């Protein structure tokens, strides 16, 4: 199966590199970019090929990934729409945040096999959380897109109406978690740890905790059960946890999700 990538920015580059590292045959990747030397540099790095135009790419591939910015996407679709309409066996993938399936199909002027994907910034290190939804795509086409995105993290398939909450939990939350790490590190500085050491300590604790949650979830256990394991009666952890709750930790995090979803609805 051949994958084509229109645009070679940070997200597409992360996906291409991650997929190649995960065992995809990079010779099955075709790249195009408005700056051809950028496409060539990435292609040379992983062993992919380049196309002389977006139209040429659309003629060659089975899965066409639109990795351009949302404002640019309609113009790119205009270049390839007639080719895509003539190739119903080809699946189109959109990485453009905020562009709905209906809006993209309107640009194509027909119902084409389409998968919308929302990855997050951690794709750069192979730890993305990506959501997928589709319209008109066959099960094997959706599965192929999911395998591609699994190469740079984890995936879920959800209804498009849930994309705003997914965006909040997966795409917005890294900024909030960075703030949590920095705040805890500053507390460490307050009590004598150098900032760089405090940051590493907190970041590793958070990474390990997240891995424990993922492992526990596969066994049917929830985070609250892990909290109970860590909190000894009358101990330091429960004292800190209750202080955090008294300060509004849970309410603040729920409020952050509410605010980001509210902002998204206004932008839409």
Name the binding residues for NADPH: 54
Give all strands of the β-sheet with 153-157 in edge-to-edge order: 49-50, 29-32, 3-6, 63-66, 91-94, 114-118, 128-135, 153-157
Q: Terminus-to-terminus CA distance in the chain, angstroms?
A: 35
Neighbours of 198 (CB within 10 A): 21
Integer Cα distance of 178 and 5 in angstroms: 30
Annotated binding site: 54
Between CA 179 and CA 186 the distance in angstroms is: 10
Tell me how far apart the alpha carbons of residues 265 and 244 are, in angstroms, rounded to a whole number. 30
Distance CA 135, CA 129 (A): 21
d(C-alpha 32, C-alpha 20), whole Å:
17
Beta bridge partners of 66: 6, 94
Task: Collect contacts of 37-41 with beta carbons under 8 A, ≥24 apart.
Answer: 38/8, 39/8
DSSP conformation class of 48: -
- Of residues 60, 53, 128, the one with CA closest to residue 95: 128
């Amino acid at each position: 199966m051949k994958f084509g990538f229109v645009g070679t920015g940070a997200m597409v580059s992360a996906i291409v590199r991650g997929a190649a590292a995960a065992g995809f045959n990079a010779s099955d990747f075709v790249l195009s970019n408005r700056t051809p030397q950028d496409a060539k540099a990435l292609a040379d790095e992983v062993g992919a090929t380049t196309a002389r135009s977006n139209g040429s790419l659309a003629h060659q591939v089975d899965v066409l990934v639109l990795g351009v910015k949302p404002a640019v996407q309609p113009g790119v679709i205009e270049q390839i729409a007639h080719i895509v309409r003539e190739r119903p066996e080809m699946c189109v993938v959109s990485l453009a945040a905020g562009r709905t399936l209906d809006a993209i199909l309107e640009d194509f002027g027909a119902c084409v096999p389409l998968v919308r994907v929302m990855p997050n910034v951690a794709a750069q290190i192979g730890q993305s959380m990506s959501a997928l939804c589709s319209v008109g795509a066959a099960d094997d086409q959706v599965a192929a897109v999911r395998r591609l995105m699994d190469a740079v993290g984890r995936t879920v398939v959800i209804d498009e109406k849930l994309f705003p909450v997914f965006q909040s939990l997966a795409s917005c939350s890294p900024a909030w978690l960075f703030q949590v790490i920095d705040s805890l590190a500053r507390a460490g500085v307050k009590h004598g740890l150098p900032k760089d050491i405090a940051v590493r300590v907190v970041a590793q604790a958070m990474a390990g905790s997240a891995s424990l949650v993922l492992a526990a979830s596969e066994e049917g256990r929830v985070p609250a059960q892990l909290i109970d394991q860590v909190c000894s009666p009358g101990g330091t952890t429960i004292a800190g946890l209750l202080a955090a709750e008294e300060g509004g930790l849970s309410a603040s995090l729920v409020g952050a999700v509410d605010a980001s979803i509210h902002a998204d609805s206004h932008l839409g």
